[in-house]
């Protein structure tokens, strides 16, 4: 097994994560790290080079692959520079600020003949993979609705993420992951239309809330919603309740939090064959939204996934050695980027956008 020699550009939040993970994984060696702020390099681990600038890294023959973990608005130029230096590239998400940037990057990468992929490690999140297991098994029958949501209470963005010009905001930060997961959930399905609300609730420049509705040609309505300012008196991770919910004609699957907690819920017999049961609620009587007859609801365990973000680099190592394909392909990341542009356009105009 060939050791992959890594250079990391940017030693902020994600740069530290890459350094920490790759220094403990077999088959990788972190050769050096660069950052525009020398203070960010003060805690680089012993034995790893601290480059004075990116050019030193690009010119270092000991570096095979460059990981670009700099601010979003720097991805375009850094990918092109790395490609021209003959380095393979792993770029943090979002891959670019817009489609024009990405197309320019791909043109140069293709001309230089280097490998280029994006760090969509959340395809290996346990919660997502568990729900994908449910979807792929067809255990829910005909799925008609999938919702992925995250609600937090911290409110403000962090560091450069507060600035539009730097590529800040939650759509670029977390939305890109949630949308990528939704598209990878059902890769063969086309998106017919997109309707979205994207807004800044308490942040002055950048979005901290979005709701995106996607109508797929397989009949599924998918929804992704995220907000950083949903306040709650439950400060014990309970704001992640119903992180995922998937509805089909043979049952419902739900999942709370990132460490999967949930179930598949079915009816023990068709409820439409059960006579209506009048229930008195605080809002008055109902036959549709009261509890089902006793014994009619049954639960089953979720088909839990056993994946970690380290699996991303296991795939990369095998693909680098020619044993398999890179999991994350650039046309897939282009589709996600285009989807985010459509969401922003829908939010701006208040209209649904035809997509595919």
Domains in the chain, ordered, with CATH? 4-119 (3.40.50.720), 124-260+339-349 (3.30.360.10)
Inter-residue contact 176 to 94 (CB < 8 Å): yes
Q: 161: which residues sit within 8 A by CB, 6+ positions away?
A: 168, 169, 173, 206
Phi and psi at 102, nearest 5°, equal: -65, -45
Inter-residue contact 177 to 201 (CB < 8 Å): no
Report the pLDDT averaged over residues 330-341. 98
Q: 113: which residues sit within 8 A by CB, 6+ positions away?
A: none
- Asked whether the CA dihedral 93, 258, 298, 296 is positive or negative, the reply is negative
Mean of the per-residue pLDDT values of the chain: 93
Structure tokens at 300: 């089953």
Report the pLDDT averaged over residues 30-35. 98
Q: What is the pLDDT of residues 274-322, one digit of tens each?
A: 556 778 778 778 877 777 777 778 999 999 999 999 999 999 999 999 9
What pLDDT does residue 283 have? 79
Residue 177's pLDDT band, with cuts at 50, 70 and 90, is very high
Three-point CA angle 95, 100, 101, nearest 5°: 40
Closest CA to 330 of 120, 68, 63: 120
**What per-residue string of b and e applies to 91-115 under the rule 16 or more CB within 10 Å gives b?**
bbbbbbbeeebbebbbebbeebebb
**Distance from C-alpha of 76 to C-alpha of 79, rounded to nearest angstrom:** 5
Within the chain, residue ranges assigned H as helices are: 13-22, 54-58, 75-84, 99-112, 126-137, 170, 176-185, 310-320, 330-349
What pLDDT does residue 339 have? 99
What pLDDT does residue 237 have? 52
pLDDT for residue 157 is more than 90: no
> What percent of the chain has a predicted confidence (pLDDT) above 90?
81
Phi and psi at 117, nearest 5°, equal: -145, 175
Q: Which of 51-60, 81-90, 227-236, 253-262 has the lowest mean pLDDT?
A: 227-236
What pLDDT does residue 259 have? 80
Inter-residue contact 227 to 148 (CB < 8 Å): no
**Distance from C-alpha of 120 to C-alpha of 97, rounded to nearest angstrom:** 16
Q: Which of 43-57, 294-308, 322-336 has the lowest mean pLDDT?
A: 294-308
What pLDDT does residue 351 have? 98
Q: What is the pLDDT of residues 235-274, one digit of tens each?
A: 555 555 689 999 999 999 999 988 888 999 998 766 555 5
- Asked whether the CA dihedral 45, 51, 57, 62 is positive or negative, the reply is negative
Phi and psi at 262, nearest 5°, equal: 175, -160
**Distance from C-alpha of 182 to C-alpha of 228, rounded to nearest angstrom:** 20
Task: Please give the distance of CA 291 from its chain centroid, rounded to a whole number.
Answer: 36
Q: Which of 4-13, 103-112, 289-298 has the lowest mean pLDDT?
A: 289-298
What pLDDT does residue 104 have? 99
> What percent of the chain has a predicted confidence (pLDDT) above 70?
95
Inter-residue contact 134 to 246 (CB < 8 Å): yes
pLDDT for residue 143 is more than 80: yes
Distance spanning both ends of the chain, measured CA to CA: 42
Report the pLDDT averaged over residues 140-165. 90
Q: What is the pLDDT of residues 190-214, one digit of tens each?
A: 999 999 999 999 998 999 999 999 9
- The position carrying tokens 């990405």 is 102
**Distance from C-alpha of 53 to C-alpha of 46, rounded to nearest angstrom:** 19
């Amino acid at each position: 097994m060939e050791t992959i020699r890594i250079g990391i550009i940017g030693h902020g939040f994600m740069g530290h994560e890459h350094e920490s993970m790759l220094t403990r994984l077999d088959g990788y060696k972190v050769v050096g790290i660069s950052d525009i702020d020398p203070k960010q390099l003060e805690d680089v681990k012993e034995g790893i080079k601290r480059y004075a600038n990116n050019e030193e890294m690009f010119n270092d023959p000991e570096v095979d692959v460059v990981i670009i973990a700099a601010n979003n608005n720097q991805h375009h130029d850094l990918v092109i520079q790395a490609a021209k230096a003959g380095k393979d590239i792993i770029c943090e998400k979002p891959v670019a600020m817009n489609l024009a940037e990405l197309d320019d990057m791909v043109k140069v990468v293709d001309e230089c003949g280097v490998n280029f992929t994006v760090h969509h490690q959340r395809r290996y999140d346990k919660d997502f993979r568990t729900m994908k297991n449910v979807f792929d098994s067809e255990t829910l029958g005909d799925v008609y609705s999938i919702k992925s949501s995250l609600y937090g209470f911290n409110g403000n963005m962090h560091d450069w993420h507060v600035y539009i010009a730097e590529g800040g905001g939650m759509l670029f930060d977390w939305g890109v992951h949630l949308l990528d997961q939704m598209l990878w959930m059902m890769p063969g399905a086309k998106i017919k239309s997109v309707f979205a609300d994207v807004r800044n609730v308490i942040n002055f420049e950048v979005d901290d809330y979005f709701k995106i509705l996607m109508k797929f040609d397989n009949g599924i309505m998918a929804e992704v919603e995220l907000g950083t300012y949903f306040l709650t008196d439950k400060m014990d991770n309970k704001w992640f309740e119903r992180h995922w919910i998937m509805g089909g004609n043979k049952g419902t699957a739900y999942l709370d939090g990132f460490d999967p907690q949930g179930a598949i819920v079915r009816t023990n017999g068709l409820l439409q064959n059960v006579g209506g049961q009048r229930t008195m609620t605080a809002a008055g009587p109902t036959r549709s939204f009261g509890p089902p007859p006793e014994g009619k609801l049954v639960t089953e365990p979720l088909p839990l996934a056993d994946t970690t973000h380290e699996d991303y680099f296991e795939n990369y190592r095998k693909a680098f050695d020619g044993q398999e394909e890179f999991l994350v392909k650039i046309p897939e990341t282009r589709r996600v980027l285009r989807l985010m542009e459509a969401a922003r356009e829908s939010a701006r105009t208040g209209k649904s956008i035809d997509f595919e």
